[in-house]
């Protein structure tokens, strides 16, 4: 079985805005601060556990996230936040290398 976990996983510490949840895509909302994305937003990465108002954000590497809407296709593709912590295919957002799509589980594996 091919596994991509932890390949080039870079984490950077940010202040966490109110409403941000661990495991969800996030965006920079103020100096040194990340917050939750709305549907269609370009995302910078995925928030880790939130402790003391801070979170580690994965800015690079492999991610496996839920998607909504039309299933992404493998290869280079554009993903944007879906407004519920996951992603969706989009016209604009973040270009990613999509390496797996599970239509039954509605998950997409990709590199940032």
Cα four-point dihedral sign 75, 80, 85, 88: negative
Q: In this structure, are 101 and 67 located in the same domain?
A: yes
Question: Residue 89 has which token pair?
Answer: 């295919």
| Dist CA 47 CA 41 (whole Å) | 15
Segments forming the whole domain that contains residue 38: 10-60
Q: In this structure, are 14 and 56 located in the same domain?
A: yes
pLDDT at 6: 64
| Dist CA 39 CA 37 (whole Å) | 7
In a domain, 5, yes or no: no
In a domain, 21, yes or no: yes
Are 65 and 48 in contact, with CB atoms under 8 Å apart? no
**pLDDT tens digit sequence for 48-73:** 999 999 999 999 999 999 999 999 99
Q: In this structure, are 14 and 48 located in the same domain?
A: yes
**pLDDT tens digit sequence for 4-44:** 666 677 889 999 999 999 999 999 999 999 999 999 999 99
**Per-residue pLDDT at 1 exceeds 60:** no
In a domain, 4, yes or no: no
**Per-residue pLDDT at 90 exceeds 90:** yes
Q: In this structure, are 72 and 33 located in the same domain?
A: no
């Amino acid at each position: 079985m091919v596994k991509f976990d932890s390949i080039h996983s870079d984490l950077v510490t940010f202040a966490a805005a109110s409403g941000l949840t661990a495991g969800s895509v996030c965006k920079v909302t103020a100096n040194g601060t990340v917050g939750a994305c709305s549907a269609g937003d370009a995302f910078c990465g995925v928030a880790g556990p939130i402790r003391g108002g801070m979170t580690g954000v994965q800015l690079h590497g492999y991610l496996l996230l839920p998607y909504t809407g039309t299933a992404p296709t493998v290869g280079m593709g554009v993903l944007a936040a879906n407004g519920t912590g996951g992603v969706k295919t989009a016209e604009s957002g973040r270009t990613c290398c999509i390496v797996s799509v599970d239509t039954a589980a509605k998950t997409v594996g990709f590199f940032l």
